[in-house]
A and B are shown apart, each in its own frame.
Chain A
Amino acid sequence: MSKKNWPLWEVFVRSKNGLEHRHFGSLHAPDPDMALKNARDVYTRRSEGVSIWVVESKNIKASNPDDNGEMFEPAADKAYRHPTFYELPDDIEHM
């Protein structure tokens, strides 16, 4: 007996064309084909989707929250990347 369990997969579903694939949840499956089928049966029972991606969870490289300081905080003081940083007269239009 192999005693090997079905690996975990992450499921991404596009609700309708024009929208991005969004993370819906996860499930277990022995291989990519079955993962896709299971995703269809588990996550689109109420017509929630028109396209599905599955990816084995172990293949996702995730950032570590401990690094959040160096990863994300340096972006916080770059206000000049946002339109509100620039001062324009109130009566100017189309801008």
Chain B
Amino acid sequence: MTNENLIQYIYGIADNSLILGQRISELCGHGPTLETDIAMTNMALDLLGQTRSYYQYVAELSPKDITEDDVAFLRTEREYKNVLLVEQPNTDFAYVIVRQYFFDVFHFMLLKELENSKNVNFQAIAKKSLKEVSYHKRFSGDWLKRLGDGTEESKQKAQQAIDDLWVYTDELFHMTDNDKAVSKAGYGVDTTNLKDSYYAAITSLLKEATLDIPDTKYFQKGGKNGIHTEHMGFILSDMQYMQRTYPGMKW
């Protein structure tokens, strides 16, 4: 296993935090109440903090003289390895919560395993992030229950979000060749082992929230190989705007 394997593996984890953090950041100032706005922003800050820890590690591993910001802002779209789920838009609060919950449950399980990685950096980041993500999962799960078992309107909106976002859940458990190599070396996580308990957890909460599991059989994939939905280009043009317009400057 090479450093490049490890770097690619980190992208597969950290880019999720970056892109989801970026997505939630868009909502700052536009939440349904001030309290919810503040809570969502806390999640964005957690995710961006995690991103920084991972990218600083990438900068260390890289043979080139690069910084966390080069990693965050100066890759091409194909070089981002986040799952499609996290780049989906903030259509309404139901999408925001469902997207968050679908990701949080996975994220928590992943970090739990990553805590036992042979890599001490992964161990440390996972240990710190677990506390944050454990709270995210509780927050998004609690909200999903409220939307599902709230009013007719909220139930319908939550169900719509679930139906639309469900197709992006399976990709969470795809193992790229690189994932397999890093996992085999004892550094990475074999996410295929997490799949059953993931769907069990989600099913149980959706049931409690009086929501239905979609019977979709076809799932979307691509993000882990750098093939994204059309949303990604717009996220990046926003995010990379300064770095691309004024190359090589310090901010």
Known: A6-B33, A41-B35. A34 touches B142 (CB 8 A): yes
Chain A residues with CB under 8 Å of chain B are 2, 6, 27-30, 33-34, 37-38, 41-42, 45
Known: A27-B35, A42-B35. A37 touches B139 (CB 8 A): yes
Chain B, interface size category, equals 10 to 19
In Å, the complex CA distance between A29 and B38 comes to: 13
Residues of B within 8 A of A29 (CB): 35
Residues of B within 8 A of A45 (CB): 38, 42
| Contact of B142 (CB < 8 Å), options: A2, A28, A33 | A33
Known: A37-B139, A41-B42. A28 touches B35 (CB 8 A): yes
In Å, the complex CA distance between A28 and B39 comes to: 13
Q: Does B151 lie at the interface of the complex (its beta carbon under 8 Å from any beta carbon of A)?
A: yes
Interface SS of chain B: helix
A2 touches B151 (CB 8 A): yes
B33 touches A28 (CB 8 A): yes
In Å, the complex CA distance between A52 and B80 comes to: 40
| Contact of A37 (CB < 8 Å), options: B34, B39, B151 | B39
In Å, the complex CA distance between A30 and B150 comes to: 11
In Å, the complex CA distance between A45 and B38 comes to: 10
In Å, the complex CA distance between A28 and B34 comes to: 9
**Which chain A residue lies CB-closest to B145?**
A33
**Smallest CB–CB gap between B27 and chain A, Å?**
14
Residues of B within 8 A of A2 (CB): 151
Residue in B33, B34, B138, B139 with the greatest tally of chain A CB atoms within 10 Å: B33
Known: A30-B146, A33-B142. A38 touches B42 (CB 8 A): no
Residues of B within 8 A of A27 (CB): 35
| Contact of A41 (CB < 8 Å), options: B38, B138, B151 | B38
In Å, the complex CA distance between A84 and B199 comes to: 70
Residues of A within 8 A of B35 (CB): 27-29, 34, 38, 41-42
Residues of A within 8 A of B142 (CB): 33-34, 37
**Which chain A residue lies CB-closest to B41?**
A41
**Smallest CB–CB gap between A95 and chain B, Å?**
51
